[in-house]
Amino acid sequence: MRPPHLTARRLVTTSVALVALLVATLVAASLVGPVHVSLARALATADSTDAVILFRTRLPRVLLGAVVGGSLAAAGAALQALLGNPLACPHLLGISGGAAVAGVLALVAGADTVSPVVPLAAFAGALGAIAIVALGARAGGRTTPHAVLLVGVVFNALAAAALMLVNALASYTQAQGVLFWIMGSLSTQSYGLLAAAALYGLVGLAWLGVHAQDLNLLAAGEEGAAQLGVEVERTRRAVFLASSLLVGAAVSVSGMIGFVGLIVPHLLRLLLGPDQRLLLPASFLGGAVFLVWADTLARTVLGPVELPVGVVTALTGGPFFLFLLRRHLRRGLA
Amino acid sequence: MTALLEAERVSFAYGPRAVLSEVSLVVAPGELVGVIGPNGGGKTTLVRLLSGVLAPRAGSVRLRGTALTAWRRRELARRLAVVPQDPTLEFPFTALEVVLMGRAPHLPALGFPRAHDLAMARAAMDRLDVAGLEDRPLERLSGGERQRVLLARALAQEPEVLLLDEPTTHLDLRHQAGIYDVVAELRRTRGVAVVSVLHDLNLAALYCDRLVLLAGGRVACEGRPAEVLTPAVLRAAYATEVYVGTNALTGGPIVLPRGPTTT
Amino acid sequence: MTCRLLALLVLAGCGAAAPPPSGGVPARIVSLAPSITEVVYALGAGERLVGVCAQCDYPEAVARVPRVGGYLAPSVEVTLATRPDLVIAVPSPGNREAVRAIERAGVRVLVVHDRTLADLWASMRAVAGALGLPAAGERLVADVSASLGAVRDRVAGRPPRRVLMIVGHSPLVAVGRGTLQDELLTMAGGVNVAGDAGQVWPTLTLELVVARAPEVIVDAAMGSEEAGRQLFAGLTTVPAVRSGRVVPLASDTLFRAGPRVPEAAAALARAIHPEAFAG
């Protein structure tokens, strides 16, 4: 049973514990893979296969997994509070659809999968989607969660149709590439890309963090929150934009990885309580840990062959979540 | 008698449907004004206009002489607290966390409650007899306990003006009296101005300094309870025959319904 | 007027399900795969083609033959409208329903496979047999076999080199064991580093490429050359990268189980053992 309210001390101790867990995860995951790597050799000789594997193929990928997982989970936590729905998922917003369509169009137009053109195009698509959904959901100067959800769902449906059209018109191998991109992949060698994603992730998290208390008060309803001093419209816009930035950046660099943004914040809320001042940073850190492990599994469990990471997040996240949920239901706490 | 909160000829409509027309209401420090009337008369809408979450189509609502629209939300929240009729909370906040939300307008954006805030919150909960429910999630409390927690939250806000929307709906007899005792104490010691929507005309008679009777979106009658709670006025407003007697203890009116009007 | 109308009706009625003319040798052939088209022309029966799939582009003469839809999605209507005696198809991801529909309409369908070299010989013989040209079929098999043998001889005696052949950049899909391409690779003097992946088209993790250290990387993917080079550029310990042996290879002949397979084998051999072709 968790303490009745959040203190600064509890926030700090929980965050420190999670950071420690993340660091341990990053180190461990970098050392795990289908190929055995010796850390000593890698550090000793910059020219060894160990060093190349560790620093060129594994480390960027592991770090990207942390950034993407954290971004998706933090966005999920904020959105669940904003939409008043503990089962909301960041892909619901429609931003992912916009990013996917733009990225896929770039792919099919012949952009190299290795150059930054595809992520840049996808990010542009995300920004476009943000604009469209934000404007579409705004009526009479207000952006209600209901409207955002509706417009997001419609936008996603349109995006899905566009993707199917592109797939139908593209060649077979192109279609395979498109499918792979959509299913999500953290495979990268680029520290530049990683740095960009990390920057967006941290900026987004900080922006959300500033509104954490407002998000808490929104739980009392739109009017309740206003009566407690929240500028509801401004808060909603800010949270929507910050979440969209997080999701857009994540999808642009790694495709649509599902489940992280839904499961991690929901799970952590069951364990830590709904206070966003703790839940937001905890979700970021927890999402990072979860995705890094999921990706480690994805690139290791079948030997030389890789599984799409989205498959692993669903197959591991789902049952574990069900188990925890049932425990809480039985204890009568959920 | 200076008005602390004043609504002047406010009108409001939901789309084409007019809900309030030219309603005026004033409340001074230490006063308890009761808003009564049949269902659909616009009472809850009036509370929302008075708290500033809705803007009137015509007329104005002013706190300390300044229109509500001119106040910043946080400033307003430090002076004006609302206890809504039917609270819903999607997330499992504990009772203490909910009451602490009342301190939010007094704390910086990400500020954590200090000892002083915790003490206030706990004192408020104690006053409303919900102290032992601190760590229970709000959704697992009974309707009455929830209502009292929300009132504790309003108290924690340290308001000058308190707006109550049917605060006794789920409360048993003991707590019904208790609520208004707490309210009376606030009025006495801190000069808090209170506007309360009431269904129970006898409670209204017992506790309110003045009554405003809303029917069909207009003020049908206003004044002291004895002036408003008369068979003629009530028949016109509620389309019901009533018996009005005298409360032996207080000398005020007692109202008993006799049945719908036959004409 | 009525006579002509009647004649038209009779012709139309006969059109959809034309039985083979007496003698049994099909005169109107539809090919639903580029490899089959090339085999038919190599057998000397190209003029019998009345319909080919859209991707059929070799030899030049095929440009004059009407199209009946794509390799992945042939059009049943258009195919039937050409009134074929025989439709030859290769199983593709997506044409199964179409082929079944053509069969149900009463047209004779021959399905051949294209996964391995064994499939290649079998399909050549089967097509030749169906066209009534068994001798030509045997000759074709012998010719192609000999050409392949010539490539093998060219690199004989040289120690085989470790090769990674990829068909996709992202995902990084490699050629695995059990494919025609793998067999050609071996014939061309290479050892497939992805041969033990356990899948026919394995999606590899990048670190595998570093660990297996191929000496030659054959890039048969659809992306640009630059993309392929960039993908491996950071893996500085891989011999193929260090010596600049990331070789792009046009996919046409490599992925068609047809008579031009020796060209693909030769191209592979040139990529894997360039010194054998220096002179």
Q: In Å, how far from its chain's centre is CA A146? A: 22
Asked if A305's CB is within 8 angstroms of C207's CB, the reply is no
Burial of C218 (0-12, 13-18, 19+ CB in 10 A): buried
- Give the pLDDT confidence of A282-312 residue by residue, as tens digits: 999 999 999 999 999 999 988 888 888 988 9
How confident is residue A114, by pLDDT bands cut at 50, 70 and 90? low
Instruction: Answer whether A216 touches B (CB < 8 Å).
Output: yes
Q: Which chains touch C (3 or more CB pairs under 8 A)?
A: A
- E strand or H helix at C14: helix C2-15
The Cα B73–Cα B92 span in angstroms is 25
Asked if B87's CB is within 8 angstroms of A213's CB, the reply is no
Asked if A210's CB is within 8 angstroms of B109's CB, the reply is yes
pTM score of the predicted model:
0.87
CATH number at residue B148: 3.40.50.300
Check whether C22 has a pLDDT greater than 50: no
The Cα A214–Cα A101 span in angstroms is 33
CA distances, B33 to each of B162, B198, B205, B261 (Å): 11, 10, 11, 28
Residue C191: other Cβ atoms inside 10 A: 16
- E strand or H helix at C192: strand C190-192
Contact criterion met (CB below 8 Å) for A285 and A19: yes
> What's the rounded mean pLDDT across residues B40-69?
91
Tally the domains of chain A. 1
Q: Is B133 helix (H, G, I), strand (E, B) or coil?
A: helix
Residue ranges of chain B whose CB lies within 8 Å of a chain A CB: 48, 51-53, 73-78, 80-82, 84, 87-98, 100-102, 104-105, 109-113, 118, 134-135, 137, 157
Which fold is adopted by the domain C159-277? Answer: Rossmann fold (3.40.50)
- Which residue is closest to A61 within chain C, CA to CA? C206
| A44 CA: distance to closest CA in chain C (Å) | 15
Contacts of A136 (CB under 8 A, 6+ apart): A147, A151, A155
Asked if C171's CB is within 8 angstroms of A172's CB, the reply is no
| C172 CA: distance to closest CA in chain A (Å) | 9
The pLDDT, as a whole number, for residue C194 is 93
In a mutagenesis test of the A interface, which of C92, C205, C209 is the best target, namely the one with the most A β-carbons within 10 Å?
A: C205
Residue range(s) defining the domain that contains residue A165? 21-301
CATH number at residue A167: 1.10.3470.10
Backbone angles phi, psi at B224, to 5 degrees: -70, 155
Q: Give Dmax over CA atoms of chain A in angstroms.
A: 64
| A280 CA: distance to closest CA in chain B (Å) | 13
Residue B251: other Cβ atoms inside 10 A: 8
The pLDDT, as a whole number, for residue C273 is 93
Nearest to A213 among B75, B87, B104 (CB): B104
Residue range(s) defining the domain that contains residue B62? 5-260
Tell me, what's the ipTM? 0.90
Q: Which chains touch B (3 or more CB pairs under 8 A)?
A: A
Q: In the CATH scheme, what is the homologous superfamily, with its name and number, of domain C26-146?
A: Nitrogenase molybdenum iron protein domain (3.40.50.1980)
| C174 CA: distance to closest CA in chain A (Å) | 10
Instruction: Answer whether A45 touches C (CB < 8 Å).
Output: no
Nearest to B112 among A4, A7, A228 (CB): A7
Contact criterion met (CB below 8 Å) for C241 and C162: no
- Residue A121 structure tokens: 């195009």
Contact criterion met (CB below 8 Å) for C117 and C183: yes
- Whether residue A274 is contained in a domain is answered as yes
The Cα C121–Cα C140 span in angstroms is 9
Asked if C171's CB is within 8 angstroms of A306's CB, the reply is yes
Instruction: Answer whether A110 touches C (CB < 8 Å).
Output: yes
Query: Which neighbouring-strand residues pair with B20?
Result: B12
Tally the domains of chain B. 1
Contact criterion met (CB below 8 Å) for C51 and C65: yes
The Cα A57–Cα C235 span in angstroms is 8
Least confident of A46-60, A81-95, A201-215, B97-111: A81-95
Check whether B121 has a pLDDT greater than 60: yes
Contact criterion met (CB below 8 Å) for C259 and C183: no
Chain C and chain A touch, per 3+ beta carbon pairs within 8 A: yes
Nearest to C72 among A47, A172, A304 (CB): A172
Give which of B149, B193, B139 is closest to B171, Cα–Cα: B149
Instruction: Answer whether A311 touches C (CB < 8 Å).
Output: no
Instruction: Answer whether A174 touches C (CB < 8 Å).
Output: yes
In a mutagenesis test of the B interface, which of A7, A215, A227, A239 is the best target, namely the one with the most B β-carbons within 10 Å?
A: A227
- Give the pLDDT confidence of C141-192 residue by residue, as tens digits: 999 999 999 999 999 989 999 999 998 887 889 999 999 999 999 999 999 9
Are C26-146 and C159-277 equal in CATH topology? Answer: yes
The pLDDT, as a whole number, for residue B144 is 86
To the nearest 10 degrees (0 to 180), the angle between helices C117-131 and C134-154 is 160
Domain map (residue ranges) of chain C: 26-146, 159-277
| A205 CA: distance to closest CA in chain C (Å) | 30
Asked if A304's CB is within 8 angstroms of C196's CB, the reply is yes
Q: In Å, how far from its chain's centre is CA A196? A: 15
- Give the pLDDT confidence of A125-154 residue by residue, as tens digits: 988 998 888 888 888 777 788 888 888 889
Asked if C237's CB is within 8 angstroms of A52's CB, the reply is yes
Query: Which neighbouring-strand residues pair with C111?
Result: C89
- Give the pLDDT confidence of C196-222 residue by residue, as tens digits: 888 899 999 888 999 999 999 999 987
To the nearest 10 degrees (0 to 180), the angle between helices A59-82 and A260-272 is 70
